[in-house]
Amino acid sequence: MKDTVLCLCDLTGAFAAPWIRAGYRAVFIDPQHPEGVYSNHSQRAVGHVIDHPESWRVIREEAHRIAFVAAFPPCTDLAVSGARWFSHKAENDPAFQFRAMQVVWQCHVIAEMLGAPWFIENPVSRISTFWRKPDHSFHPWHYAGLEPEDNYTKKTCLWTGGGFSMPDRVTLESNEAPDDRIHKAAPGPERANLRSATPRGFARAVFNANGGRT
């Protein structure tokens, strides 16, 4: 039975929320979780990097149940918004972007191996240079009709496969102009959290477009 969504490089679990509400299980793999493997009745959290024996053990155990794969590899060393710091980072570590891309490629290999619909999410980034152009892009406001709090701009790219279905836009009926809160937010943890948060409207839209087929 395909009843589980696998979320790679995911600490918050926001993307999986609609799936869990619909009765699916969820597996989260991210080194920011407490080290080890923790489970409850519907969720498993793996506190390791993807390419760790325990992560692979859990993936093998869950492989026959995976209905969808969502991956959010870190964008710190890839997003073009941080290009001004690339030369300094390269002085300290000439392979810093190769290391970041290794995580992207690990996500891709796992998603293809499992054979379920999948996406890899990142902002506008060097992934387009080192791998390939994205298949889709969106702003949170494109799905603010499902979650009014998401009426803001932040171009996000998706690399997809496995029969992924890109959801149609569901914008606000009021046609209220989206704000640019990400751009205006002061540097710091709040801005970082805003930038990395999965828009809830988008998460619902992806579930609606893909959850019924799995």
**Is pLDDT of 69 > 90?**
yes
**Is pLDDT of 58 > 80?**
yes
Name the pLDDT band for 161 (thresholds 50, 70, 90). very high
Residue 194, pLDDT score: 59
The two tokens of residue 89 are 């980072």
Name the pLDDT band for 65 (thresholds 50, 70, 90). very high
Name the pLDDT band for 186 (thresholds 50, 70, 90). low
Residue 214, pLDDT score: 39
**Residue 202 φ then ψ, to 5°:** -65, -45
**Is pLDDT of 1 > 50?**
yes
* Owning domain of residue 79: 4-213
- Count of the separate structural domains present in the chain: 1
Q: What is the mean pLDDT of the chain?
A: 90
Return the CATH number at 50.
Answer: 3.40.50
Say what the pTM is. 0.92
> Which helix (DSSP H) or strand (DSSP E) does residue 141 occupy?
none
Question: Edge-to-edge strands of the sheet including 156-161?
Answer: 36-39, 43-47, 25-29, 4-8, 66-71, 118-123, 156-161, 136-138
Name the pLDDT band for 8 (thresholds 50, 70, 90). very high
Residue 151 near residue 144, CB atoms below 8 Å:
yes
Question: Within 10 A of 212 (CB to CB), how many other CB atoms are there?
Answer: 9
Range in 48-57, 68-77, 131-140 the model is least confident about = 68-77
Strand partners, 71: 8, 120
Residue 187, pLDDT score: 64
**Is pLDDT of 77 > 50?**
yes
Q: What is the per-residue pLDDT across 114-136, written as a single tens digit (0 to 9) for each?
A: 999 999 999 988 899 999 999 99
